[in-house]
Amino acid sequence: MFSKLKSSSSSSPNSASPTLSTNSFGGSGSGCNNIDVNPISQYYECGKQIGSAGPELVWKIFDAVRKTDMKDASLFFYDKRTADKLHKPKRKEMIAEILRFSVRQLDRFRHPRILAIMHPVEESSDTLAFATEPILGSLANCYEYLEERLPQSYEPLPLLRESNLLDFEIKYGLLQIVEALIHLHHNCKVIHRNISPQSILINKKGTWKLAGFEFVEKCNDNDIMNVIPCQPYTSKLPKMGQPDLDFTAPEVQTQSLCTPNSDMFSLGLLITFLYNNGRSLITANLNASNYLKQLDSLNVSLNQLLPNIPSGLHESLKSLLEIDYKKRPISQNLTTSKYFVDPSVQALHYLDIIQMKDSVHKSNFYHNLKNLLPSIPTAKIMVSTHTAIDESPEVLAAALQPIIHMINRSTLEQFQEFILPFIKNIFQMPKSVQATVTLLENIDILMLKTCTSDFFRTEIVPMICNAFDSSTPQIQSAAMSALSQVIDHLDEVTIRRMILPKTKQLFDINADVKIQINILICIEKVIGNLDKSDILDDVLPMIMRARIQDVSVLIIVINICKLMMMDTKKYGITVNILAMKIMPALVPALANVNLNIDEFNDLVSLLNEMLTYVAKTQRNKLVLEKNNNVTVTTIKIPEITESLRESNTTLNNINSLGSYPHRPPSLRLESRRTSISMDDVVRRASLTSAASSPDSNLLRVQAHLPGRRHSDNTILPPRILVAPSTPTTSFSLSRGPSTSNLNARRHSSIISHNISNNLGIESFLSSRSSGRRYSAVPTFDKLNFSSSSSSHHHKNTSTNLLQTIGTGVQQLFK
């Protein structure tokens, strides 16, 4: 029930907020308008009415905010005009005095179980007002008690009246009221006399607080358990000036006496009220006679109600409702009832007094609290453990365990309202190693509640990144575990600029298998967001250094490699990288004896895929290079191929002529010359021979014109005539018409090649009578080697000339 109350109050437009202005915060209705004339309005901004309390619900409760520090509060307001129907001024003043008295007693009897007052009563001519801790409402508001007779003008919280309180909340609430009575009876030595739903308030932490001190009586001075006289309920006095008759003890009404045990009887009737749908076993309707009649049948009514009451409370309830006050248990003994001996209740009780314990007791308590949390309402434990954030780092580490459990159980609204404020403080506090590890190991729980808020971006992510820089292995390992939980919620920029460099740095300096596994898991999750440079610069080096001897690491590496093989171009995975880096690193893992058959098959499949890719890519590359070479040769030198073919034919024809003893041996032209001038030949030949020629005049002219090619002169040398020949052909140097069918070439057009056979040329024709161009190469005609009629002198002259020319040509091409 409390969780519903709190959730509703936090979301209701009626609730106070520090950011609200006076206009928006001011309530509608005469009550709030009247508060404006009360002096308390100088200190508090008034909100909407949220409940009512006190005798006949005369106190109207409003949400409020203290102006000095914007702290939440509640304003209790009484309009004196409510008592106008009493007609007698003395009675009207009596009611005001009773209410003033009750506020003074609150300040006097301060206790954790008594309503805490923040500002004393302020009074104007028509109003009374005071401020207390923030209140949700009274038990009377929860059960709509008295509202049929006393309709309320405020709009109740939507979930305030949806259902009754939970059994656990009732149990713990009753224990808190018992503790308040112990304080009053044995410490303050007073009798409350007004234990009723209107006097019990629930604050925003879910704690039941006792109020309603309008009719307090001082105990007997000699013995606090002895009776003292008191005023019974009577119709002669105003109803709002008397305790509620339906919760009055028998000795008060019948004997005008009261003791502390009178409060215990009223407590018994309050218990029946809680388990009887908001109805006391005594319903007198403000009539003393009806009260006495129902008192006689009280035991019968109790027996009928017991099945609705927890079994552990049966005996205690029967003793509380004893007509003889001497048989009732005192407040101190009631705490030992089996009903209150509940570990969960005791845990909450310990939380209320934990500030008085030392660090060792606190740590032990928080370690054991986690086991009790399933039986404690989430909202209740949330508001009871927030004090742990003010503890030492050691106590905080222990307190984080139940806090994390509460976060996991809480709704998003509960987390935002109860937990997030002090979780933010925890992140800013100095923390021990264990506290940091606890937060990191449970970061996934925090992420579920904060992944869409700024807290995730401004607190959680920086904490994880800072943990990477820690020198403590436990924190580093916890940081990687946390990163693997949240990395799916990180944007690409954060991953590439903050996360990836940090993880690579941690991977380089840490060989712990657990850390490597967590890092590689993160890489596997975000590899789709990485580009080529990230893979080559960061991911591949980590894969190369991964401890793949460990099967857990190997499996993750295999998964990463499979993802990279799906798009080798995107990730920059080349044949060289596969063949020289990745495959050599993975192949030794084939001999790992710890692999099962499925893991082995995955590794073999990956290696086969890589090998197939390498083979296919390399084969295609080699075939392409071969085709390119053939194409280039065919395109670039077709003319050379044809020229070589023609040159080979000419050489074959020349070689068939016979031997030529004066040809320079093994002549090879390394570079092509466009023309060989005759003056170069004669100039070099003149060094070894002084033979004259009919062309000497021509040569002398050329000697004076060295830059002029011989082919540019008007006198044309003879062309080179290459005659076809066979081994049986007879050659002749005659110039007859038979030479017209020979191949005619200039010496400058001949392609350089090796001459392997001697040319058997016996004569050289130097005549220019035919008008042909002169060349350094003799003209060949049909040679008849069988002719012996030629003169011997002619042969010697031709031979000497040919030797001279050949020597010049040989020197020219050296």
Sequence letter at residue 237: L
Which of 9-18, 533-542, 633-642, 756-765 is the most confident on average? Answer: 533-542
Tens-digit pLDDT profile for residues 153-165: 776 655 455 445 7
Give the integer Cα–Cα distance in Å for 345 and 166.
Answer: 13
Q: Which of the 8 DSSP states describes residue 592?
A: -
d(CA 248, CA 194): 8
Condensed to tens digits (0 to 9), the pLDDT of residues 478-530 reads 887 888 778 777 777 878 777 788 788 778 777 778 888 888 888 888 888 78
Band (736; pLDDT cuts 50, 70, 90): very low
**Rounded Cα gap, residues 331 and 263, in angstroms:** 9
CA distance 33 to 47: 11
Q: Which two tokens stand for residue 503?
A: 């993880």
Question: What global pTM score does this model have?
Answer: 0.61
Q: What burial class does residue 423 get, using C-beta atoms within 10 Å of its C-beta: 0-12 exposed, 13-18 middle, 19+ buried?
A: buried
Helix axes 433-441, 461-468, angle to 10 degrees: 130
CATH pick for 2-142 out of 3.30.70.250, 3.30.200.20, 1.20.1250.20, 3.40.605.10: 3.30.200.20
d(CA 439, CA 470): 15
Higher pLDDT, 639 or 196: 196
- How confident is the model over 252-311, as pLDDT tens digits? 999 999 999 999 999 999 999 999 988 999 999 999 999 999 999 999 999 999 999 998
At residue 4 the predicted structure's pLDDT band, cuts being 50, 70 and 90, is: very low
Q: Where in the chain is the domain with CATH 3.30.200.20?
A: 2-142
**pLDDT > 90 fraction of the chain, expressed in percent and rounded:** 30
In order of 436, 465, 499, 534, 651, the CA distances from 482 in angstroms are 11, 10, 12, 22, 87
Which helix (DSSP H) or strand (DSSP E) does residue 465 occupy? Answer: helix 461-468
Q: Would you say 429 and 463 are in contact if contact means Cβ atoms under 8 Å apart?
A: no
- Lowest average pLDDT, out of 185-199, 377-391, 444-458, 722-736, goes to 722-736
- Give pLDDT, residue 677: 53
- What share of the chain in percent tops pLDDT 70? 70
What pLDDT is recorded for position 631?
A: 60
Q: How confident is the model at residue 755 (pLDDT cuts 50, 70, 90)?
A: very low
pLDDT number for residue 605: 92
Confidence of residue 805 (pLDDT cuts 50, 70, 90): low
Say if residues 421 and 18 touch (Cβ distance below 8 Å). no
CA pair distance 308, 314, nearest whole angstrom: 10
Going by pLDDT thresholds of 50, 70 and 90, the confidence category of residue 19 is: very low
Can you point out the beta strands (E) in 30-106?
44-53, 59-66, 72-79
Average pLDDT, the chain: 76
Q: What was the pLDDT predicted at 728?
A: 44
* pLDDT score recorded for residue 646: 60
Q: Which carries the bigger pLDDT value, residue 652 or residue 124?
A: 124
On whether the CB atoms of residues 75 and 40 are closer than 8 A, the answer is yes
d(CA 249, CA 322) in angstroms, rounded, equals: 10
Highest-confidence range of 62-76, 369-383, 401-415, by mean pLDDT? 62-76
- Per residue in 684-719, pLDDT (tens digit) is 555 544 444 444 555 555 555 555 554 444 444 554
Q: pLDDT-derived band of residue 387, with 50, 70 and 90 as boundaries?
A: low
pLDDT at 68: 93
pLDDT at 445: 84
Query: For 695-707, b where at least 16 C-beta lie within 10 A, e where not — what string?
Result: beebbeebeeeee
